[in-house]
Structure 1
Amino acid sequence: MRGFRWPPPPDSGPRTWGPGPGGPRTGRPALPEPETELVTTPHGVRLERLVTGTGDPVTVFAHGLGNGIATTRPFGSGVNGRKVFFQFRGHGRSVAPDGPWDYLDLARDLRAIADLGGASRAFGASLGAGALCRLLVESPERFDKLVFFLPAVLDEPRGPLARERVTDLLEAVESGDASAVADIVTLELPPAVRNTPAGWAYLRQRLDQLLRDGLADGLATLTDQIPLRQIGDLTAVTAPALVIGCAGDDLHPVEVAERLAVALPQATLHVYDRPGVLWSERADLRDRISGFLNE
């Protein structure tokens, strides 16, 4: 059984315990981090932003809890027009105002970035999907097209696993111990990917960002929050929507995706049969998202 270990080999391995190749290996590197900017929003919170691409339409991308611009960029790789990526409050270089925070605060962050960038379409992953739902309750006609990737929560709080994972990540980042952070971040990877060049590239990028920028303590309370008082609040949303779920994902139960697709009048649901689709179904996922947004 080959095991994961940190720090990585100095020759950029990875090396593994047991028989097998031990020399340097190469693989597709993680996307390099481009230069971002801090923008001041109308509600007074400065947020980190990255704009790529040219022309119209404009799509805003909202990331998951503890993630950010780097992990969201692959979702837009085949999408036409300008793409606006950002970091919610408490993530990356974005400001962390006094808490506690709720999904209304996150919806304000998302709305501000969308308005400043002139976005007519929106993508939300996990936490970002919840923030997008909350925004749509207030403004059901705000976007022309919507994509929800692995929605995690609607009108019922998330379970103890999500709370435990976020708490462990915050504690590890606060400690500054790269090995402790690596242990938590590794759980984001499918077991088959954890000791591969692509897995190590992802891990290095995540650790570089988390240990450089940190995460705000205010994020800990978000796992107990819900974006919707009742799921029926979404019935006024008439924009075409694509909802993507995954069977077997404990942090993003497929039932949440199914309920969201039923609640949205113009939604199409696609469910993958196993977790880790960014690794196992990357091309299909990219084509599915870009095909929906570009058509």
Structure 2
Amino acid sequence: MRGFRWPPPPDGGPRTWGPGPGGPRTGRPALPEPETELVTTPHGVRLERLVTGVGDPVTVFAHGLGNGIATTRPFGSAVTGRRVFFQFRGHGRSDSPPGPWSYLDLARDLRAIADLGRATRAFGASLGAGALCRLLVESPSRFEKLVFFLPAVLDQPRGEAARARLTDLLDAVESGDASALADVVSMELPPAVRNTPAGWAYLRQRLDQLLRDGLAPGLASLPEQTPLRDAGVLAQVTAPALVIGCAGDDLHPVPVAEQLAAALPNATLHVYDRPSVLWSERADLRERISGFLNG
């Protein structure tokens, strides 16, 4: 059996080694990343930001651990008004102040970007969902609408499998070994996509970003932490909320999404029946998020 070359070839591949039939490769390189800016926050940490769209309302988007602006933008593609994307500390070009860091630090980053952009709605994915929960502890009425995509942890620590996956990602980035990092990042893709042109293009974009920008050591303690001491404190949050979970996702267990939806007084829960919804349910996910926020 012929193997695939790591990291992905520049044209999106896959390109096989050894004899065998050839064929056209339709994977296209990722589009150039848009120009971002560094903004200074009131707590002294400069954060990378991208603002798209025009007018009101304004929605802030918070990404997951090891992700960033590029992977979060698809969630806002049909959301009206201005959309504010940013990189948490330790990601992209954002500052990396001395760690370790807590969810309170991430909540401050999110709050600062939301305030500077005058955001009235918020979206949080995975780590970003945890930071959003921590922000709401201090300011339960800060936003008019809330979306939580694949919440990973609330008031109970992550499982061992999830902690190991996140630790592997941080270790692979620190090592600078493209092959090791590709092995870890490829787990984000459903098996049916991993050796397709689209999968290789995604993998190449993620490797380019992670190897270029890295991930700060201050992030290493976050997989061991929880954003809340008691999820019951979210009872003070009255804004309409949409909570989205996926069956079969080890990093984002459905019970966490169910617990979050139960803790929020005005929440709607939707659980997809399989993981990797950005690949398998992209159109439905886009319509579900935009329909809730735009409605």
- TM-score normalised according to structure 2 size: 0.95
In the TM superposition, residue 220 of structure 1 has moved relative to its aligned partner by: 1.0
Deviation, 1:291, is 0.5
Q: Which moved more, 1:135-144 or 1:26-35?
A: 26-35
- State the secondary structure of the residue aligned to 1:181: helix
Query: 1:53 aligns to what?
Result: 53
- Determine the structure 2 residue equivalent to 1:95: 95
Distance 1:11 1:28 in 2: 6
Q: Counterpart in 2 of 1:105?
A: 105
Distance in 2 between residues matched to 1:155 and 1:19, nearest whole Å: 54
For structure 2, the residue ranges without an aligned partner over 5 or more in a row are: none
Match of 1:171 in 2: 171
Alignment of 1:252-291 (within 5 A): 252-291=252-291
**1:33-59 deviations in Å (ceiling 9; x for gaps):** 111111100001111111011111000
Specify the code of the residue in structure 2 equivalent to 1:124.
G
Specify the alignment match of 2:158 in structure 1.
158
Which amino acid in 2 is paired with 1:101?
A: W
Cross-structure match for 1:133: 133
More displaced 10-residue stretch of structure 1: 9-18 or 261-270 = 9-18
> How large is the RMSD of aligned CA atoms in angstroms?
1.8
1:63-92 CA distance string (max 9 Å, x none): 001111100000000100100000001111
Opposite residue 80 of structure 1, the aligned amino acid is T
- 2:19, 2:265 → 1: CA distance? 54
The letter for the 1-side match of 2:39 is V
Report the equivalent of 1:238: 238
Shift of 1:169: 1.5
| 1:180 Cα offset (Å) | 1.4
What amino acid is aligned across from residue 22 of structure 2 in structure 1?
Answer: G
Q: Which runs of 4+ in 1 moved over 6 A?
A: 17-21
SS state at 1:243 partner: strand
> Displacement, 1:205?
0.8
TM-score normalized by structure 1?
0.95
SS in 2 for 1:166: helix
8 Å CA contact retained: 1:136, 1:237: yes
What stretches of structure 1 of length at least 5 have no aligned partner? none
Alignment-derived partner of residue 206 in structure 1: 206
**Distance in 2 between residues matched to 1:142 and 1:20, nearest whole Å:** 59
Paired residues, number:
295
Does the 8 Å CA contact 2:8/2:203 hold for their aligned counterparts?
A: no
